[in-house]
Structure 1
Amino acid sequence: MSGVTLSPAFNQAVVDSKKLVEKPSNDHLLEMYGLYKQATQDPPIEKSEAPGVFDLKGKAKKRAWQKVVDEGVTPEQAQEKYIALIEQLKVLYKFDENKVPEAVGGK
């Protein structure tokens, strides 16, 4: 992890993002990804690996992150924007505080 300090509110938003009842749209997922990566800077975009030629999902994610970088959003601003986005998505996609996040990777 880089020298970015993650706020408690950001960390809570990350937890809350996994407790949305309905799956967000691809556009919202990409926006979440771009803001998350810029907020955490793990790794910085210039040190992140380029997706493979046929990795369309990876390319879309990298573009979403690059868009945030190109807009000049600092890691701190990205945290604030991520928190605000999750609050919107909690209304749009419903939120269940007691939902157990789904395991990623088929476990």
Structure 2
Amino acid sequence: MVSAKFTQLYNEVRGLKGPTNDEQLELYGWAKIAKEEDFSAQKKPSALNLRDKYKYASWQRYVNEGLSPKDAEKQYIELAERLLAEQKK
């Protein structure tokens, strides 16, 4: 189960316009792991759907690395806080 801080940042980051594509993919993969969503139940997206293909690959990378939900949440929070701080500048 994710922390209240994660949930708050998850909702705040969704509206950001500044993150790079790589940062967005990291956040996506970490969020999926942190929320303990079942990767094995996820259908692999079509090769023609590039957006979903990259999101799936990001999530898969962290699954393959064996990233724990706790570590994924920590990394998500660190990047989300940095991105929000940068936006306020």
TM-score > 0.5, shorter chain as reference: yes
Name the SS of the counterpart of 1:6 in structure 2: coil
Which amino acid is 1:67 matched to? R
Compare the two structures and name the one with the higher helix fraction. Answer: 2
Match of residue 69, structure 1, among 63, 69, 72: 63
For the residues of structure 2 that align with 1:61 and 1:15, how far apart are their CA atoms? 18
For the residues of structure 2 that align with 1:33 and 1:18, how far apart are their CA atoms? 10
**1:33 equivalent in structure 2:** 28
Name the SS of the counterpart of 2:85 in structure 1: helix
Structure 1 gap segments, 5+ residues each: 96-107
Match of residue 18, structure 2, among 23, 29, 36: 23
- Normalising by structure 2, we get a TM-score of 0.87
**1:12 equivalent in structure 2:** 8
Which amino acid is 1:13 matched to? L
Structure 1 residues 28-75: Cα deviation after superposition (integer angstroms, max 9, x where no partner)? 110110001111123x11111110131111111111111111222111
Q: Which runs of 4+ in 1 moved over 3 A?
A: none
CA RMSD in angstroms, aligned pairs only:
1.5
For the residues of structure 2 that align with 1:13 and 1:75, how far apart are their CA atoms? 16
**1:99 equivalent in structure 2:** none
Matched residues, number: 88
Structure 2 gap segments, 5+ residues each: none
- Normalising by structure 1, we get a TM-score of 0.74
